[in-house]
Amino acid sequence: MHVSDHEFIMSLRIRHPHIDPAEITEALRVDPQHTWRAGDMRCAPAGDEIGGTHRESYCTGRVMAKPELARDQVGVESEILRALGTLRRSFDLLRRLQEEGGSAERHVGLYAREEFRLELLPGSLSLLGRLGLALALDVKPTPEEPSGVALN
């Protein structure tokens, strides 16, 4: 099996002028990491109020439980396509979010030691567009021991 010099993790991020984040997480079957509703008090990560209120609703949840090392059967491209396939069932909600001024984004965090090629096939790009999803890629240096596995 070929192991590459990058690992990745994916999440889904949604912003909307006023929707209840619970509606999003229930419909999309995503365990939320961070959520707030428009009008809620702004809080620091520790929970202390920092003043003001949120102008929009926000929800983010991981699609993968932990980072994965890219290998022959599991790669960024194949996981994006797999995750998009599961989001098809939520097409109506995703379209509604967009029509009401919201946005949805598939976020991919990439951690790499060396350069590598990431190819998104036309089918994946087309499906992203039909679902109204943006794709955000964050590329960062890999820690020495990603996911407890040494990359050589």
- Per-position pLDDT tens, the chain of length 152: 344 567 888 888 999 999 999 998 888 888 888 899 999 999 888 888 888 999 999 999 887 777 777 765 667 787 888 888 888 888 888 899 999 999 999 888 888 877 777 788 888 888 888 888 888 888 887 665 545 444 44
Q: Which residues form the domain of 138?
A: 3-147
pLDDT, residue 101, reads: 94
Q: Name the β-bridge partners of 111.
A: 7, 140
Sign of CA dihedral 8, 92, 26, 103: positive
Domain count, the chain: 1
Instruction: Examine residue 110 and state whether it is found in any structural domain, yes or no.
Output: yes
Instruction: Examine residue 12 and state whether it is found in any structural domain, yes or no.
Output: yes
Instruction: Examine residue 68 and state whether it is found in any structural domain, yes or no.
Output: yes
Instruction: Examine residue 152 and state whether it is found in any structural domain, yes or no.
Output: no
Q: How far apart are the first and last CA of the chain?
A: 14
Instruction: Examine residue 124 and state whether it is found in any structural domain, yes or no.
Output: yes
